[in-house]
Structure 1
Amino acid sequence: MVTESGPAHPTVAVLYADDRPSGLAAFDGRARFVLVTEDELPAALKDADALLVWDFRSRAVPAAWPVDGPHPRWVHVAAAGVDTVLCPALREGGVTVTNSRGVFDTPIAEYVTGLVLAMAKGMPDTLAAQRERRWAYRETESVAGRSALVVGTGPIGRAIARMLTAVGLRVTGVGRTERASDADFGTVHGFPALPGLLGDADYVVLAAPLTEQTTGMIDAAALAAMRPGARLVNIGRGPLVVTADLVAALTAGRIAGAALDVFDTEPLPPDSPLWTVPGLVVSPHMSGDTLGWRDDLAALFADNLDRWLADQPLRNVVDLRLGYVPTG
Structure 2
Amino acid sequence: MSAKKTNIVVQGISEINEIPELIEINSYANIRCAPDLETLRNFLPGAEVLLGWNFDADILEKAWDQATHLKWIQWGGAGVDAVLFPDLVESDVALTNMKGIFDRAMAEYVLGLIIAFAKDFPETYKAQTERRWSYRLTNCIENSNVLIIGTGGIGRMIGYLLKAVGCHVTGVARTARLADDVFDSTYSIEDVDEALIGADYVVLATPLTAQTKNFFGENQFARMKHSSYFINVGRGELINEHALIDALEKKNISGAALDVFQTEPLPPDNPLWSMNNVIISPHMSGDYFGHRSAMAHLFLENLNCFRHNLPLRNTIDKNLGFIATKPLTNQ
Does the pair score TM above 0.5? yes
Secondary structure of the equivalent of 2:269?
coil
Secondary structure of the equivalent of 2:20?
coil
Distance 1:135 1:175 in 2: 44
Secondary structure of the equivalent of 1:312?
coil
Counterpart mapping for 1:121-200 below 5 A = 121-200=119-198
Distance 1:289 1:144 in 2: 27
Matched, 1:313 2:311: yes
Secondary structure of the equivalent of 1:245?
helix
Q: How many residues align?
A: 320
For residues 255-312 of structure 1, the C-alpha deviation after alignment (integer angstroms, 9 at most, x for no partner) is: 0001011111222222222211231100111111121111111110111111111221
> Which of these residues, 231, 248, 254, is aligned with residue 252 of structure 2?
254
Distance 1:237 1:38 in 2: 25
Secondary structure of the equivalent of 1:52?
strand
Distance 2:60 2:24 in 1: 30
Distance 2:36 2:66 in 1: 20
Distance 1:321 1:226 in 2: 32
Secondary structure of the equivalent of 2:81?
coil
> Which of these residues, 88, 98, 101, is aligned with residue 100 of structure 1?
98
**Deviation at 1:68?**
7.9
TM normalised by structure 1 equals 0.93
Distance 1:224 1:305 in 2: 47
> Which of these residues, 299, 302, 316, is aligned with residue 301 of structure 1?
299
TM normalised by structure 2 equals 0.92
Distance 2:248 2:42 in 1: 46
**Deviation at 1:21?**
2.2
CA separation of 1:48 and 1:326: change in aligned 2, threshold 3 A? same
Corresponding residue of 1:208: 206
Distance 2:40 2:243 in 1: 37
Q: Is the 1:201–1:226 Cα contact (8 Å) retained in structure 2?
A: yes
Secondary structure of the equivalent of 1:193?
helix
User: Unaligned 5+ residue runs, structure 2?
Assistant: 327-331
Matched, 1:45 2:34: no
**Deviation at 1:122?**
0.3
Q: Is the 1:146–1:170 Cα contact (8 Å) retained in structure 2?
A: yes
CA separation of 1:17 and 1:230: change in aligned 2, threshold 3 A? farther
Q: Letter of the 1:292 partner, please give it.
A: G
**Deviation at 1:128?**
0.8
For residues 121-155 of structure 1, the C-alpha deviation after alignment (integer angstroms, 9 at most, x for no partner) is: 10011001101111111111111111000000101
RMSD, aligned CA: 1.7
> Which of these residues, 272, 276, 279, is aligned with residue 270 of structure 2?
272
Q: Is the 2:72–2:95 Cα contact (8 Å) retained in structure 1?
A: yes
**Deviation at 1:179?**
1.1
Q: Is the 1:47–1:71 Cα contact (8 Å) retained in structure 2?
A: yes
Q: Is the 1:247–1:277 Cα contact (8 Å) retained in structure 2?
A: no
> Which of these residues, 9, 25, 28, is aligned with residue 13 of structure 1?
9
Select between 109-118 and 131-140 the one with higher mean Cα deviation: 131-140
Distance 1:11 1:273 in 2: 48
Select between 20-29 and 128-137 the one with higher mean Cα deviation: 20-29
Secondary structure of the equivalent of 1:267?
coil
Distance 1:62 1:269 in 2: 26
Q: Letter of the 2:250 partner, please give it.
A: A
Distance 2:95 2:144 in 1: 39
Secondary structure of the equivalent of 1:304?
helix
CA separation of 1:69 and 1:105: change in aligned 2, threshold 3 A? closer
